[in-house]
Structure 1
Amino acid sequence: MDVQRAVEIFESKDTYKVKLEGEPVWIEHVDQQNGMATVQVGSRPTNTQTVKVDRLEEGE
């Protein structure tokens, strides 16, 4: 995924399926300058990771 698409998903009122290495995630923040995103993995709000945006995949 590119940074612009990650920002679009993050700012959208719609829900999009996003995955990190096959696991569903929620985008919580996008750092456009560094190409990084903070994501919540699964349903636990405390389980967050900061990863390169290009590791994220938009699912069906």
Structure 2
Amino acid sequence: MARSVPAIIERRRTKEMSRMIKEGDPAPDFTTLDHTGNEVRLSDLKGQKVWLWFFSSPGGGN
């Protein structure tokens, strides 16, 4: 059984990675708030260059 655990983990990891966005793939549409609190939808920016910056702030974003 112990020999099969790494294989199971690798299969799960491979399956999860196949669902990840790869370079050159279109980004899925989503809505977020801009720096002024207004909603922005990614699809509204189609055709424009967009820089997505994801970060974590101290205190969990509170």
* Same fold at TM > 0.5: no
Higher strand share: 1
How high is the TM-score relative to the length of structure 2?
Answer: 0.26
How high is the TM-score relative to the length of structure 1?
Answer: 0.26
Instruction: Specify the structure having the higher radius of gyration (Cα).
Output: 2
Higher helix share: 2
